[in-house]
Amino acid sequence: MPATVLVLVETINDYLPILENQGFHLILAPTPAERAQAIASHGGQIDAVLTRGPLGLYADEIAALANLKIICVIGAGYEQVDLQAASDRGITVTNGAGVNASSVADHAMALLLSLVRDIPRCDAAVRRGEWPKIMRPSLAGKHVGILGLGAVGMAVAKRAANGFDMTVSYHSRQLLSDVPYDFCSTPTELARASDFLIVCTPGGIGTQHLVNKQVLDALGPHGFIVNIARASVVATNDLITALEQRRIAGAALDVFDAEPQVPDALKALSNVILTPHVAGLSPEAARGTVELVGQNLMAFFSDRPVLTPVKLPKSL
């Protein structure tokens, strides 16, 4: 009998035939109402759940899925998946770390270029029939700080160093001995050394508000910040205040605390660029994501080790 997968993700439908061709039965539930209905109606027959970090899977939902054996999370982050509840049930959790790194890194650099060179304001001016000569900094020779040197951080670092002749520093949980970039022991030290700060670290309790008033003040009035990671890593109120007071030069954000709601204070600022959490979206990333999910599911249901397991807490 084929395994049944509850799909909570709304951005990969074009590639779901990959899973169907592998023999999996899919139940699509991309909205909150459909999700609740699917769990209530089909909870006993669902073997696997496909979700993403912000969508998560909660303890009460896990409890309602009596036959659940594996949770597959697309992307690196899994902050809203109740890992303790999964561990207590012996449920395997996998993620998709690295699959969409190129897409996210491309978007990070696009945001950085648009922000530093003020592309949206120039575009709007030309459309109004204006022809302003806006003087903006160059990226070449500048110092970029990368907060979190995982797959995405590494992809950003390579683009910045090799494509734009930038000096790269980073802060991660630990010093990496095999990278040619300077390590900074704290986010504040990293910001102080940087012209541009790019947030690439996963979300969750361990990284919550790593970027706060102290870090933003260290970045300074000529510094720019880009966040393509999770909104929780940056203290939003501190960021808004720093932008309003011009204690930093600008920000480009692809992630927000209460998506799809975005604070009006951010929308009102001229030194901010906003995109709707699309950094990881590309046809290449979507296909790669679903292929990895399929590989993990095929391995699991064939009693082989999954490819990208998430470390779970000890069961209670």
Residue in 277, 284, 287, 291 annotated catalytic: 277
> What does the pLDDT read at residue 7?
98
Whole-number Cα distances in Å, 227 to 117, 147, 242, 264, 313:
17, 10, 15, 18, 28
Q: What is the DSSP string of 3-63?
A: PEEEE--SS-GGGTHHHHHTT-EEEE--SHHHHHHHHHHHGGG--EEEEETTT-B-HHHHH
Residue in 20, 34, 244, 259 annotated catalytic: 259
The amino acid at 34? E
Residues 184, 124, single domain; the answer is yes
Residues 109, 235, single domain; the answer is yes
Instruction: State how many domains the chain has.
Output: 2
Per-residue pLDDT tens digits for 25-58? 999 999 999 999 999 999 999 999 999 998 999 9
Sheet holding 250-253, edge to edge: 182-183, 167-171, 143-147, 196-199, 224-227, 250-253, 272-274
Residues 119, 219, single domain; the answer is yes
Active site residue 277: yes
Residues 77, 160, single domain; the answer is no
Summarize the confidence of residues 145-154 as an average pLDDT: 96
Residue in 35, 107, 159, 230 annotated catalytic: 230
Which domain range does residue 107 map to? 101-274
Active site residue 10: no
Q: What is the DSSP string of 247-290?
A: SSSEEEES--TBTTB--HHHHT-TTEEE--S-TT--HHHHHHHH
Residue 126: inside a domain: yes
Q: Is the pLDDT of residue 1 over 80?
A: no
Q: Is the pLDDT of residue 172 over 80?
A: yes
> What does the pLDDT read at residue 65?
98
Q: Please give the model's pTM, rounded to 2 decimal places.
A: 0.93
Residue 13: inside a domain: yes
Active site residue 230: yes
